[in-house]
Amino acid sequence: LNLSVRFPVKRGGAFGRTSYLYAVDDVSFDIRRGETLAIVGESGSGKTTTALAVARLVAACDGEVKVAGQDFLKLDDQALRKARARLQFIFQDPYSSLNPRLRAEKIVREPLDSMETVPAADRQGIVDKLFKAVGLHPEQQRLFPHQFSGGQRQRIGIARALATQPELVICDEAVSALDVAVQAQILNLLKALQAEFDLTYLFISHDLGVVQHMCDTIAVMYMGRIVEYADRLSLFNSPKHPYTVALLSAVPSVDKERRAETRRILIPGDPPDPVNLPPGCRFANRCPVAQDICRQTDPALRSLPSGHRVACHLVSEDGTPPLTP
């Protein structure tokens, strides 16, 4: 809730001024148990920093992170160590996120050993169950990471993340490094595991196409802010913010008619300097429909009758967007 992360940046050499880069700027969202929230945006939007701040792997300068009623940001070091078992990551790169010197069995068992949340005698049974749940053969427990394919390595990463029965699983670009066919298998596996274990996912991706079958709610981020927040169907069927409209226009539709009707909207130019943000809308220099008010006044995130939340001056009160594909 109202999460902000800023990093000091020194410009102009040793005697230069210290400015602050707001990587995450007043971001709020909630995820219900058993559901998936996707945070989508291009690189530099703040989506990964948001996930790291939720887990306290980077320090938030403001806000709160409540997991099952407990504010993560207020825990002391000892309490945080215990609480971390309730929040696990699945990382982007299954090649570098697994220790190459450990057998698969040890990798999956490692969070159980380090967090000591279950008695030692019960841990091997949990590892066996997880191997089965992620579709790996019991004999593969003895193998090292280099003896697995990319998709299998990601299955090991998933098993490791689930070992401590976390309240929240953060999937940070969890399928981006995999080829398309393997991506689909891993996404299906994540969905099946969610149904089996009542998992809650925070799914970080730069690709709306990847999250379209995966999430219940979507937050679109741009330059550290949420610019649109809506349930999946509303966002895909009726995007409001020009940035979301442009991102969606690049997602191939399975519906033939819709595909023929949709024109691709390219987003020109580069984002503004994050240390020296413009006074108005952060998307204004790239937005095809920007007007004077956009360059002067920063649009607040507001709620629409449809339940959408959107930060754009030109979306009308009834939710009519200023740009359509």
- Binding site residues, ligand SF4, CB under 6 A: 241-242, 281, 283-284, 287, 289-290, 294, 299, 312-314, 322
> How many whole angstroms separate alpha carbon 16 and alpha carbon 11?
5
Q: How far is the CB of 319 from ligand SF4 (least distance, A)?
A: 13
- Of 126 and 281, which has the nearer Cβ to ligand SF4? 281
Partner residues linked to 3 by β-bridges: 27
Q: How far is the CB of 1 from ligand SF4 (least distance, A)?
A: 24
- Of 186 and 245, which has the nearer Cβ to ligand SF4? 245
Tokens describing residue 169: 């699983």
Amino acid at 102: L
Give the closest residue to 283 by CA, choosing from 304, 314, 252, 324.
Answer: 314
Q: How far is the CB of 303 from ligand SF4 (least distance, A)?
A: 16
Distances (CA, A) of 145 to 58, 126, 142, 151, 176: 28, 20, 10, 11, 19
Contact indicator for 5, 23 with CB cutoff of 8 Å: yes
- Of 156 and 284, which has the nearer Cβ to ligand SF4? 284
- Of 157 and 242, which has the nearer Cβ to ligand SF4? 242
Q: How far is the CB of 210 from ligand SF4 (least distance, A)?
A: 24
Which single residue is written with the structure tokens 């902000």? 4
Amino acid at 194: Q
Q: How far is the CB of 189 from ligand SF4 (least distance, A)?
A: 36
- Of 31 and 287, which has the nearer Cβ to ligand SF4? 287
Which single residue is written with the structure tokens 């887990």? 55
Which single residue is written with the structure tokens 């427990």? 141
- Of 157 and 224, which has the nearer Cβ to ligand SF4? 224
The alpha helices in the chain, defined as continuous H runs, are 47-54, 77-83, 104-115, 120-133, 150-162, 180-197, 208-211, 232-237, 242-249, 256-261, 292-296
Pairing of strands 217-222, 36-40: parallel
Q: How far is the CB of 289 from ligand SF4 (least distance, A)?
A: 5
